[in-house]
A = this chain, B = another copy of it.
């Protein structure tokens, strides 16, 4: 016997969530069936209001819920450094470290010809305009250490070649608390070549 139509539809739309296959979607759907109406309405309304209540800053692309962007607040932040990130989510992770007080620029992804993401899709021209026209002295590239991250970093470095701007990228090495036994050889090699005086 097939599931009732509405249940099947619920399962299908839940499967659009990342990492949610048929089994998880079924589990979520049957769990939702037992939720009180108030919780269902809350979830439904919160989802419906996403586009209306959350925006991306026109300047840096970070996530904001009002017209003023705290990430671009020049009174509190250092306008001479710019941290380039792939997604708005990364800004929150970096803020949590309390190590960085400069500005951000969200690319909206990393270069990936396979996925049809070229420089135009990633607001890379807009980034270059922002750097070249502004007061920025250092660009920090905080990308994943993947092929796409490497490609994006290389592209930006090449484009900024003729400008007197310091360009840096996050350090590669052992994760904090990691054991050498469990670290892959690529990471270990980078940790070696990037070793610092102690």
Asked if A32 is at the interface (CB within 8 A of a chain B CB), the reply is: yes
Q: Which residue of B lies closest to A89 (CB)?
A: B30
Interface residue ranges of A63-83 to B (CB < 8 Å):
63-65, 70-71
Main secondary structure of the interface of A (DSSP, over half): helix
The contact of A13 among B13, B37, B39, by CB within 8 Å, is B39
Decide if A7 is an interface residue (CB 8 Å cutoff): yes
A16 at interface, CB cutoff 8 A: yes
Asked if A1 and B48 make an inter-chain contact with CB atoms under 8 angstroms apart, the answer reads no
**Contact-size category for A:** 35 or more
Distance in angstroms from A2 CB to nearest chain B CB is 8
A182 on the interface (CB 8 Å rule)? no
- CB neighbours (8 Å) of A46 from chain B are 6, 9-10, 13
Cβ A4 vs Cβ B45 within 8 A: no
Q: A7-B63, A9-B46, A27-B19 are in contact. Are A54 and B33 (CB under 8 A)?
A: yes
Copies of the chain in the assembly: 2
A171 vs B19: C-alpha distance when bound (angstroms): 34
Given A1-B91, A17-B28, A33-B50, 20 more pairs with CB closer than 8 A: A1-B70, A1-B71, A1-B95, A1-B96, A3-B92, A6-B54, A7-B54, A7-B63, A7-B65, A9-B46, A10-B47, A16-B35, A18-B27, A30-B87, A30-B89, A35-B50, A40-B48, A40-B50, A44-B44, A44-B47
The 23 listed contacts between A and B (C-beta, < 8 Å) are A1-B96, A3-B92, A4-B54, A4-B63, A5-B65, A6-B49, A6-B50, A6-B54, A10-B46, A10-B50, A13-B39, A13-B43, A13-B46, A17-B31, A18-B31, A30-B88, A32-B47, A32-B50, A33-B50, A33-B63, A40-B51, A44-B47, A47-B47
Which residue numbers of A lie inside 8 Å of B, CB to CB? Answer: 1, 3-7, 9-10, 13-14, 16-19, 24, 26-28, 30-33, 35, 37, 39-51, 53-54, 63-65, 70-71, 87-89, 91-92, 95-96
